[in-house]
Amino acid sequence: MRQSVRNRLTELLLRAFADRQKSAAILWLDLFCTLVSRAKLSEIPLADLLAEGKAMRLGVDGVAGNSLADLIGNGRLLRVRRADTSEEMGAELACQTAGVPWVIGPDPDVSPALAGVCERARLNADVLSVIDELGSETSGADPLRRTVIQAAACFNAGLFFETHEHLEQIWQTQPTGPTKRFLQGIIQISVGFHHAQRGSHDGAVNQLGKGLEKTAGLTGEVLGLDCTTFLPAVARTRDAIVACGRGAMRPMPLVEVPRMRVPGAGPSRGEVGQAEG
d(CA 41, CA 4): 24
The residue length of the chain stands at: 277
Arithmetic mean of pLDDT, 220-236: 95
Largest CA distance in the chain: 68
Residue 247: which residues within 8 A CB-CB, separation 6 or more?
Answer: none
Arithmetic mean of pLDDT, 92-104: 72
Give the model's pLDDT for residue 265: 38
Arithmetic mean of pLDDT, 246-255: 95
pLDDT band per the 50, 70, 90 thresholds, residue 277: very low
Please check whether residue 123 is in contact with residue 65, taking contact to mean a CB–CB distance below 8 angstroms.
no
- Span 163-195, pLDDT tens digits: 999 999 999 999 999 999 999 999 999 999 999
Please check whether residue 1 is in contact with residue 116, taking contact to mean a CB–CB distance below 8 angstroms.
yes
- Span 52-87, pLDDT tens digits: 988 888 765 545 567 888 899 888 999 999 999 888
Give the model's pLDDT for residue 236: 98
Arithmetic mean of pLDDT, 17-45: 94
Give the model's pLDDT for residue 273: 44
pLDDT band per the 50, 70, 90 thresholds, residue 254: very high
d(CA 56, CA 77): 21
CA distances for 255 relative to 80, 87, 258, angstroms: 38, 46, 8
DSSP state of 200: -
pLDDT band per the 50, 70, 90 thresholds, residue 120: very high
- DSSP-derived pairing of the beta strands 221-222 and 225-226: antiparallel
The dihedrals phi and psi of 71, each to the nearest 5 degrees, come to -95, -15
d(CA 10, CA 16): 10
Whether residue 111 is predicted with pLDDT greater than 80 in this model: the reply is: yes
> pTM (2 decimals)?
0.88
**Structural domains in the chain, sorted by start:** 3-115 (no CATH), 140-275 (1.10.3450.10)
Give the model's pLDDT for residue 192: 98
Residue 17: which residues within 8 A CB-CB, separation 6 or more?
Answer: 23, 131, 150, 166
More confident residue, 63 or 270: 63
Give the model's pLDDT for residue 67: 83
What count of other Cβ atoms lies within 10 Å of the Cβ of residue 19? 15
More confident residue, 17 or 95: 17
DSSP state of 239: H
CA 190 to chain centroid, in Å, comes to 12
Q: If you compute the radius of gyration of the chain from its CA atoms, what whole number of angstroms results?
A: 21
Give the model's pLDDT for residue 59: 63
pLDDT band per the 50, 70, 90 thresholds, residue 270: very low
The secondary structure of the chain in percent helix, strand, coil, rounded to multiples of 5, reads 60, 5, 35
Give the model's pLDDT for residue 65: 63
Please check whether residue 232 is in contact with residue 261, taking contact to mean a CB–CB distance below 8 angstroms.
no
What count of other Cβ atoms lies within 10 Å of the Cβ of residue 11? 13
More confident residue, 150 or 100: 150
Give the model's pLDDT for residue 142: 86
Q: What is the DSSP secondary-structure string of 47-109? A: HHHHHHHHHHT-SBTTB-HHHHHTTBSTTSSEEEEETTT-PBP-SS-----TT--EEEEE-TT
What's the one-letter identity of residue 81?
A: R
As a dihedral over the C-alpha atoms of residue 256, residue 257, residue 262, residue 267, rounded to 10 degrees, the angle is 140
